Structure formats: C-alpha cells, structure tokens
Amino acid sequence: MKEREEHLFEVFENLLKARHECSCTIFSECGLPDMTVRQIAYLKTIDEQGEITFSQLAGITRNSKPTISEMINKFERMACVYRERCPEDGRVLYIRLTDKGQKIAKAEQAALRMVIDRMMESLDETEQELLLKILEKVR
C-alpha cells in the first residue's frame, strides 16, 4: 500500500510540475516571469470582481488604500491594469485589467487546461473515460 501511495505522490508531483511549467511559460510570454503569488492573487481578484474600486479592493484584500495604490501603480507600470473614471461620478476610479493582466489572472486555469490537453493526447478514448470515472470519485 505504501508503495502505491508513493507512486501516486510522484505522479501528482509530475502533474503539478507540468502545470507550474505551463504557468511560467504564460508569465514569460507576458514578459513577467517573476510574478509573485500575491500579485497573481490580486489580479485574479480584480478579474473576478469585474468592476472594482480602490476601496473595494482594499477591503477584499484587507490592505490599506495606500498599499493598494502602490500596488496598482506597479501593475500600471507592468501594463497589467489601467484606471477608468466612473461616468456617473468622476471621483470614482475603477481598476480594470488590460489584456495582459487578464492573461496573467487566468494563467493558472490556462496552465491546467494545457496539462489536461497533454493528458488527453496521451490517452485513448477508453483510458480517458476510465480516468474521468476515477477522478469523479475523489471529493
């Protein structure tokens, strides 16, 4: 039993490495190979919220407004976000993702899709069905 668990561990470790490699490829394509986990999390939050202000982002991330301003300034220099004034209230600024920012925010999903594509290409239809049945049992 221990031997089987160890083998399963190695298999999953290889899958996670493949996902990490795919993520790194995406970040490199964007010209940002050194993105931190925290920066990616902020971009994902902005992406998930769609329309978000500095105050809202500060509240969600539990940071101060000056910290958020500093982070957004950095993201602007990286060409990941831009600011947009609210048409109804010019005092309100929205934080929006650029195409590059969206690509980074969705990099983990894209990397997972790349790994799944690799897996599916290496399996025949019967093996694919079996894999799906097995994985559906895991909760």
Tell me how crowded residue 35 is: count the other CB atoms within 10 A of its CB.
19
Strand partners, 96: 82
Residues in the chain: 139
Query: Both 44 and 95 in a single domain?
Result: yes
Query: Both 21 and 52 in a single domain?
Result: no
Query: Both 27 and 57 in a single domain?
Result: no
Query: Both 118 and 90 in a single domain?
Result: no
Higher pLDDT, 80 or 32: 80
Q: Are the beta carbons of 95 and 52 closer than 8 angstroms?
A: yes
**Domain coverage including residue 48:** 36-105
Give the per-residue pLDDT at 61. 92
Query: What mean pLDDT is predicted for residues 103-115?
Result: 89
Query: What mean pLDDT is predicted for residues 83-105?
Result: 91
Higher pLDDT, 2 or 71: 71
Query: Both 58 and 7 in a single domain?
Result: no
Q: Are the beta carbons of 89 and 81 closer than 8 angstroms?
A: no
pTM of this prediction? 0.75
Nearest residue to 47 via CA among 105, 107, 5, 103: 105
Give the per-residue pLDDT at 139. 80
Q: Are the beta carbons of 17 and 25 closer than 8 angstroms?
A: no
Query: What mean pLDDT is predicted for residues 37-48?
Result: 92
Query: What mean pLDDT is predicted for residues 108-124?
Result: 89
Residues 48-66: tens digit of each pLDDT: 998 899 999 999 999 999 9
Beta strand extents in 20-101 (DSSP E only): 52-53, 81-85, 93-97
